[in-house]
Amino acid sequence: MAINFSKLFEEARLSTRALLDYSENFFHPTLRLGVTGLSRAGKTVFITALVHGLARGGRFPIFESMATGRISAARLEPQPDDAIPRFDYEDHLRTLIDDRNWPHSTVDISELRLVIDYQRRNGADRSLTIDIVDYPGEWLLDLPLLNKSYEQWAAESLSLSRQDPRVRLAGEWHAHLATLDPTGRENEQATLTAARLFTKYLRECRDEQFAMSLLPPGRFLMPGNLAGSPALTFAPLDVPLNGEPPEGSLWAMMRRRFEAYKDVVVRPFFRDHFSRLDRQIVLVDALTAFNAGPEALHDLESALAGILDIFRIGRSSLWSALFRPKIDRILFAATKADHLHHSSHDRLENILRRIVERASTRAEFAGAEVDVVAMSAVRATREAQVQRGHERLPSIVGTPIAGETSGPEVFDGRTEVATFPGDLPVELNDLFKAGTFRGLAAGRPEDADYRFLRFRPPRIDCRNPEEIILPHIRLDRALQFLIGDKLL
């Protein structure tokens, strides 16, 4: 049997890092909380609201240690890792409250250290350090690539691109692909064109009209300082799943760059950041998938299942803390619950539970605790009853983002409106059947069965910044699950 020395070396590096983390944690209890999710799920807003609520004494009745007064203070401390940017909490908070805009999406990894001073139930005073790790959802999509060959990834990508609605977006890329001979000589210009057209296809798939989630490699959508590098210049070819490329061929070139992508981009992220996490929250924008249609829901389900395959999950023990750290609690959170009336929140939770069923069952079997919640880290709407004829409809009131539309109406970003968001379906299995409902991907926006508006952050009428409390939906329940047991 051949020994994979590269894999053994990688495992040794992970174990060494785990030992260092354990020794530090022995004297200064620290929890590394990963905040992750696919694009536009609200990671930045979640972290900002979490820190603000703990530091300012937010209304968290479900968060037991705060509700009972055992938390005396929560404060930010200097960023612990010199090579990682600090999460810009203060600027994000100003954007939310002063500008009433949502912060920009995450474009790079960042970190923030929060220290909670609390009293244990036995009366002893303690402190818990929480290192919050935020990273782009696009990076998350790359992790399953670690267990795939170039040929496997190419076959999966091509298979997906030939299914509706993706096939409608892949025409230009497919046309170029048909001109390429994988066994022919490597060709830099042909490769550049293939990578450009493949990236264009991925970007169009991510558009909210289609809301596809399964779009690796993630750095193609967010290249940063790697833009134009060979590690980001490759694309799928139609090649045999178990074949071997001729030396010097286009196929060999694509395979080499795919492996370089894993070595340069994916493995360092997994080793230095992802593998060190203790707890994980996975934020999911299920409503955008609803807007797009059943295909987007199926794609979201597949993406989350693939993501969970890469987690090191299981119940924490002394051995795992020393040599193989594991994530022992995972929370799936359906964000933007404030876009629905509270009567539909249970249905939103049940839909997300159905989407992550395959992934969460495996996690629970391994010993990890799993929960699902419908939440809004910052609540942008309030509820009201609207009279329509003889019927009173459960509605929400808020300020739609400028440019949002409802039928012929285009909102200006200043006017508050009351809208009936509709009821989510009760029968979950029907949602995942083709043709059960129409989304934006099916045609005109006015023909979609679901069209959830996007709202601006709420207006906070408070003159004293120290007294501002951000409204939320079930953020306290999320905190109780993620860190409540560490504050007993």
| pLDDT tens per residue across span 210-269 | 888 888 999 999 887 788 889 999 999 999 999 899 999 999 999 999 999 999 999 998
Boundaries of every domain in the chain: 5-135+273-379+474-487, 146-268, 382-467
Round to whole Å and give the CA distance between 457 and 453.
13
pLDDT tens-digit readout, 20-36: 554 455 457 999 999 98
Q: Distance of CA 381 to CAs 188, 368, 392, 423, 484, Å?
A: 52, 34, 18, 17, 28
- The CATH architecture that domain 5-135+273-379+474-487 belongs to is 3-Layer(aba) Sandwich (3.40)
Tokens of 254: 């694509």
Round to whole Å and give the CA distance between 274 and 92.
24
Side-by-side strand order, sheet with 30-37: 71-77, 110-119, 125-134, 30-37, 279-284, 329-334, 369-374
Is 295 exposed, middle or buried (CB count within 10 Å of its CB: 0-12, 13-18, 19+)? buried
> For the chain, which residues score pLDDT lower than 70?
1-27, 308-325, 358-367, 430, 432-451
Nearest to 417 by CA among 386, 450, 375, 376: 386
- Is 0.85 surpassed by the pTM of this model? yes
Amino acid at 97: I
Nearest to 212 by CA among 158, 133, 292: 292
Q: What is the pLDDT of residue 3?
A: 44
Round to whole Å and give the CA distance between 287 and 246.
46
Q: What is the pLDDT of residue 447?
A: 58
Q: What is the pLDDT of residue 435?
A: 64
- Token pair 């230095």 is found at 272
CB neighbours of residue 247 within 10 Å: 7
